[in-house]
Chain A
């Protein structure tokens, strides 16, 4: 059982975990306030050719890079190690951010990605000198095809949102070729914010369609709205409530019948891998997030990787270059006249392709399916254990994530935000909150398959304890967190008077 954190500020570092560890943790000065003139953290061999006369470059030459620090390697290492200790991370414990799929990142993948033959190859070196890398990208494409049932992938998009842009642009190219790009993209009200933003970049107007009382696309409303002006429906399946769109085939049929395309946001593929394939459901375009489903680390905000898979009819529109050829010799094909063009400088986030490939090869088909099953079991276990304490706005078996809300805590004055903040005192990263927008006060919990039972139990205990605290000592919850390196921040002040860079004495 979890110890209840002392209130208000526990000074003993012995029992609490994670970012709540104080004592040895302290706030860290800016690097610009460290070091002294003449210190350095970098050494070069002596210049072995005559020095060029930089005055030949005239006024282009600067005297110095003003405000850069003068610090030793020791200073730098300690600074960043100390900073790291102010973070919470999935390697420290449960990180149940719904829709973000914070699963464990296997360590072998980090080592493999750092092998010279992957880490030190150049995106413009001759194709014959980089056959191993091209083979890897081709094979990853083939693995993703098997997993999703799509015809072919591009690995170029750097993240999910860029994948969405690519996908909608391909839809547009296809419809344009058929005579009319159309003007509207339909998006359910439970969608991620990137969906409308991406559709906008592809030149479409966005129209929202409401969910029904089960949180799913209202098929009749869709049938009424679907017409010759609608280019595509963009939906997430399972949707952001963790619910599978069980009418997906009918939905696809309605869209197809009126000449539109179905785009599926694969943010929640962690519920489907090895179990069901979007390609079998009628989906035309699918993006994946390798940094969610396929375990590449989130890196504190990136990098990601957002491959996009399409049905055969959309293959001509894939971004250039594509990888062609077979085991004998792979080459890059730039000559694809119908392509939507290029979206990243080179071939995408190859380092992430290496890691995702390793992940898939480590688990194999049966292992991937088992991972999905465990992700769903973990989510349902939390649902079963928390349903007496927190309201489930959609009380039905869920897939990979479960949505709670704060309506049962209403009388206490405690809100979702307070619950989230108080969870930090118990040593957890909070779940995603206030999303999806269709659930007021949403608490969206996605444990993933890589959490052991005792960690889930600890989380349940913390959630129940917070509910009790809300009734017995609401102020404690309302002013949480207490055991973190800093407490609630003045976010409004930060936005009103933005300070976006270090200023000496400022």
Chain B
């Protein structure tokens, strides 16, 4: 067991002394409170343990069975984006003081975490053009769901209008969260140009509408007319939540608050979190100040200590489960703190100029790619609405066959859209980011041409 001992720092003499102090002759006596028939006669059936060297080999071989942007040209987005993360982000996250600490319940020895969250809240408020950001939620979909619950608490109304342009997994998660609370979910269709059908929204809203939820850029990559949507919702007193799954888009596009939305919620993965198969990611929520006391999750506020020094602390805790129990604004406890830190560092590194430049590169490359692919015989962009870094291409073949063909050519293509809508089996959602070179985009076009020929 010598190898196991590296995480178990008690030596033989230590154990003897401890047993003696406790007054037992063997550790097993300490488990006497567990009825004997429930105690396992031998340890559970698990594979043989591995030394660090063996483990590295096993895990390396498992990892090598996965295609990555290091092995393939990458054009898949749909809520999880391949962006560059500067080396400084990864190294700072490995500071033990950050990643091996707990929730900052003791502010005197947690100012590092607390100040970082305060800066995160400030940056997210600026980015979304809203007032109050919480300290993070699990991910984009659960953040969207928490926003719906918030609206229900704040308005006491029961109708929830969910745009079909919302990522399908987000729609699923919202449904799961509200299924036992007596809320009614009403879908808002997408119009021919790829944006939410605002005439339909005007017909569907009513005095019992708690909230209107739309995503921009939406699941088809189209930038929504948030201003108009807000205007329509306001007439019946409904709140508006704008979901953002591609947070980097706000380097170029106005945040939801600019158009009068009440809540911005979504996915911060684009801001410094690796793809890592869908998580851990960063759920964010930023709201108007009037909704502060309805916020789910943790909030960090500025204050002073007894000597008058500026300091930070978890605040407005009476909203939370450990105080309010079943009447809390959410059941969330552990959140995604380390990912919020990653986003804070990434946003600081990017800064004012970098946010803009990387967002413009995404946009330019996506537009160029779209126009290039549109030249392929039988292909055309499905929607006319403006895009950020994703677009839908209609093709003269089944999109999942095209996806297989691309994979065989070393390319992970876009998302075959039959997973969202069966009538879109010949459509693919492509994503182009700053990570895609012109050469890769040209290779994509050539491969697509070959597959469709």
Contacts and interface: CB of A to CB of B under 8 A. Distances in A.
Contacts of A488: 108, 305-306
Given A44-B358, A243-B33, A346 B277 contact: yes
Interface string B326-354: 11101111111111010001011111111
Chain A contact-residue range equals: 35 or more
Nearest to B65: A132
A210 B26 CA distance: 34
Interface hub of B7, B313, B355 (most chain A Cβ within 10 A): B7
Interface in B296-344: 298-307, 309-311, 313, 315-318, 320-328, 330-339, 341
B453 interface: no
B25 interface: no
Contact of B407 (A108, A129, A348, A397): A129
Interface in A395-446: 396-397, 399, 420-421, 424, 429-430, 435
Contacts, number: 698
Contacts of B367: 52
Interface in A339-376: 340-352, 354, 358, 360-371, 373-374, 376
A276 B34 contact: yes
Given A493-B304, A494-B315, A500-B133, A380 B334 contact: no
B336 A302 contact: yes
Nearest to A427: B109
Contact of B361 (A44, A83, A131, A397): A44
Interface stretch (A97-105, A256-264, A461-469): A97-105
A89 B97 contact: yes
A68 to B, nearest CB: 4
B118 A502 contact: yes
Interface residues of B, number: 203
Interface string A444-470: 000001111100000000000000000
Nearest to B227: A59
Interface hub of A41, A108, A346 (most chain B Cβ within 10 A): A346
A347 B27 contact: no
Contacts of B119: 30-32, 502
A92 interface: yes
B107 A489 contact: yes
Contacts of A490: 303-306
B55 A498 contact: no
Given A92-B96, A160-B333, A377-B18, A341 B179 contact: yes
B334 to A, nearest CB: 4
Interface string B1-43: 1011001111000110111011110011011111100111001
Contact of B280 (A57, A60, A289, A351): A351
Nearest to B180: A203
A263 B94 CA distance: 36
Contacts of B170: 345
Nearest to B276: A351
Nearest to B309: A486
Given A30-B115, A159-B332, A277-B44, A197 B325 contact: yes
A300 interface: yes
Contacts of A277: 38, 40, 44
A383 to B, nearest CB: 8
Interface in A110-128: 110-126, 128
A361 B172 CA distance: 34
A108 B55 contact: yes
A65 B279 contact: no
A220 interface: no
Contacts of A309: none
A494 B313 contact: yes
B125 interface: yes
B104 interface: yes
25 contacts: A39-B351, A58-B386, A87-B97, A97-B102, A108-B56, A116-B71, A119-B275, A136-B62, A169-B176, A276-B39, A299-B339, A301-B338, A302-B103, A302-B338, A341-B172, A343-B177, A344-B279, A347-B277, A365-B45, A373-B30, A385-B21, A452-B10, A489-B304, A494-B301, A495-B317
Contact of B80 (A146, A165, A346, A380): A346
Interface hub of A304, A342, A385, A501 (most chain B Cβ within 10 A): A501
B364 A158 contact: no
Contacts of B44: 146-147, 274, 277, 365, 368
Contacts of A494: 301-303, 313, 315
A84 B338 CA distance: 12
